[in-house]
Amino acid sequence: MIRHELHPDNWVDNYADYLFNYAVGRVSDAEIAKDLVQETFFAGLNSAKNFKGDAAERTWLIAILKRKVIDYYRKINSKKGKAEVRMNYRSSSDSDGDWMEEQVADPFSTLENDALENEELGSAIYDCIGKLPKKQALVFNMKTIQGISTEDICKELGINPSNLWVMIHRARTALMGCLNQNWFNI
């Protein structure tokens, strides 16, 4: 088994953009995403002694960032401790319309497009999400990207399920239009 090593001096150059794109796709706010990436780097430095080398550096940093995103949503949650934020994409009981996840390339597949093209598509998706109205983007991120249950989203945002699904439908329609204009027709 390959043992990976940490090289914190290279983190900003090697991973800052990737981590930022990941974070901004989940919180829809560039300033908050920057803060989360910075907190991730600090947490990585503070817990470097616990790194076992089983995962690649980037994978380990993403795991830290995921916890930072969860902490962020818990902090802003108006009913602290009552809504559970889940990052597991497959555990949602109401997975209708998980079309975005099904379209994402498998990072371990050798049959997928090259990494540059996948990175460009990811950037196009995040750019399109950034053009959505703020509440639509938030609901889309929570449901489709983060996999939070319909019930938890409705409780957290004070909306009903019908309202949620209308917002998700509108967000998906807008995203497909944006991607058709900015990515698929390039």
- Give me the residue spans of the domains in the chain: 1-76, 87-186
Distance CA 75, CA 127 (A): 26
Q: Which residue has the higher pLDDT, 46 or 90?
A: 46
Residue 184 above 70 pLDDT? no
CA dist list (Å): 101 to 41, 52, 141: 27, 30, 12
CATH class of 87-186: mainly alpha
Average pLDDT of the chain to the nearest whole number:
76
What element of type H or E holds 56?
none
* pLDDT for the residue numbered 91: 42
* pLDDT for the residue numbered 133: 92
Lowest mean pLDDT among 12-26, 102-116, 131-145: 102-116
Cα 79 versus chain centre, distance = 22
CATH 1.10.510.10 is right for the domain spanning 1-76: no
Instruction: Examine domains 1-76 and 87-186 and report if their fold is the same.
Output: no
Distance CA 175, CA 93 (A): 24
Q: How many CB atoms lie within 10 A of CB 103?
A: 10
Enter the pTM of the model.
0.45
Residue whose pair of structure tokens reads 């371990």 in the numeric block: 108
Backbone angles phi, psi at 84, to 5 degrees: -95, 130
pLDDT category at 119 given cuts 50, 70, 90 is: low
